[in-house]
Amino acid sequence: MSAGVEETDIASPLNSAAATEGTGNATKATRPTAPTSRTTGANVRAGGPTRTPRPANGAAGATRPPASRAPGPTRTPGPVRGMPRPAPSGTQPVGYKSGRRSVLRRYCVPITTTILVLASIVVIAILVKVVLDNYYYFCLKSFKFIPLDKWCDGKSDCSGDEDESRCVHRVEVDSRSSVVRITEQASLLQLYMISTQQWSWICSDSWDSNKAKAVCTQLGFSGDPVFSHVPTTEVDTRSASIFSTVQQLSNRELQVVPVSGGRCPSGTLVSLRCTVCGASHKRERIIGGSDSTIENWPWQVSLQFMGQHVCGGSILAPHWILTAAHCFKGQEQVDRWRIQVGMAKLTFLFGSQVDKIFLHNQYVYDQKPYDIALMKLKNDLSYSGSVQPICLPGFNSNLPPSATLWVTGWGNTQEGGSLATILQQVSIRLISYETCNSQYFNQIQSTMLCAGREAGGADTCQGDSGGPLVSYGNSSRWEQIGIVSWGDGCGRPGKVGVYTKVSSYLDWIYGVMKREL
Active site residue ranges = 326, 371, 465
Residue 184 or 459 having the CB closest to ligand 4AZ: 459
Q: Are strands 198-202 and 254-258 parallel, antiparallel or unpaired?
A: unpaired
In whole angstroms, give the CA distance from residue 102 to residue 118. 24
Q: Which stretch binds ligand 4AZ (CB under 6 A): 5-13, 55-63, 199-207, 222-230?
A: 5-13
Indicate which single residue of 1, 3, 4, 11 sits in contact with ligand 4AZ (rule: CB under 6 A).
11
Residue number with the smallest Cβ distance to ligand 4AZ:
487
Kindly report the backbone phi and psi dihedral angles of residue 406, in degrees, each rounded to the nearest multiple of 5, phi listed first: -125, 140
Q: What is the DSSP letter of 181?
A: E
Contacts with ligand 4AZ, 13-52, as mask; x by CB under 6 A: x---------------------------------------
Q: Which stretch binds ligand 4AZ (CB under 6 A): 11-19, 142-150, 220-228, 395-403?
A: 11-19
Q: Which stretch binds ligand 4AZ (CB under 6 A): 6-14, 86-94, 189-197, 355-363?
A: 6-14
Any contact of residue 413 with ligand 4AZ (CB under 6 A)?
no
Q: How many residues bind ligand 4AZ (CB under 6 A)?
A: 14
Residue 377 or 426 having the CB closest to ligand 4AZ: 426
Residue 315 or 469 having the CB closest to ligand 4AZ: 469
The minimum distance between CB 17 and ligand 4AZ, in angstroms, equals 14
Q: Is 125 left (phi over 0), alpha (psi -120 to 50) or beta?
A: alpha
Residue 13 or 468 having the CB closest to ligand 4AZ: 13
Residue 185 or 439 having the CB closest to ligand 4AZ: 439
Bridge partners for 253 per DSSP: none
Residue 95 or 416 having the CB closest to ligand 4AZ: 416
Kindly report the backbone phi and psi dihedral angles of residue 22, in degrees, each rounded to the nearest multiple of 5, phi listed first: -115, 180
In whole angstroms, give the CA distance from residue 72 to residue 310. 77
The minimum distance between CB 446 and ligand 4AZ, in angstroms, equals 19
In whole angstroms, give the CA distance from residue 430 to residue 124. 55
Contacts of 453 (CB under 8 A, 6+ apart): 428, 429, 459, 496
Kindly report the backbone phi and psi dihedral angles of residue 354, in degrees, each rounded to the nearest multiple of 5, phi listed first: -105, 140
Indicate which single residue of 5, 6, 12, 64 sits in contact with ligand 4AZ (rule: CB under 6 A).
12
With residue 511 as reference, give the H or E element that holds it.
Answer: helix 506-515
Using N-to-C axis directions, what is the helix angle for 209-218 and 506-515, rounded to 10°?
100
Q: What is the DSSP string of 446-487?
A: TTEEEEE-TT-S-B--TTTTT-EEEEE-TTSSEEEEEEEEE-
Burial of 306 (0-12, 13-18, 19+ CB in 10 A): middle
Binding to ligand 4AZ, residues 481-510 (CB under 6 A): 484, 486-487, 490, 497
Residue 215 or 461 having the CB closest to ligand 4AZ: 461
Provide the CA 29 distance to its chain's centre, in angstroms.
Answer: 32
Q: Is 279 left (phi over 0), alpha (psi -120 to 50) or beta?
A: beta
With residue 435 as reference, give the H or E element that holds it.
Answer: helix 433-439
Helix, strand, or coil (residue 347): coil
Binding to ligand 4AZ, residues 423-462 (CB under 6 A): 459-462
Residue 13 or 225 having the CB closest to ligand 4AZ: 13
Contacts of 466 (CB under 8 A, 6+ apart): 13, 303, 311, 312, 313, 323, 324, 327, 373, 483, 484
The minimum distance between CB 488 and ligand 4AZ, in angstroms, equals 7
Q: Which stretch binds ligand 4AZ (CB under 6 A): 15-23, 91-99, 100-108, 479-487?
A: 479-487
Q: Which stretch binds ligand 4AZ (CB under 6 A): 7-15, 31-39, 377-385, 419-427?
A: 7-15
Binding to ligand 4AZ, residues 264-293 (CB under 6 A): none
Helix, strand, or coil (residue 438): helix
Q: Give the interface with ligand 4AZ as residue ranges (CB under 6 A).
A: 11-13, 459-462, 464-465, 484, 486-487, 490, 497
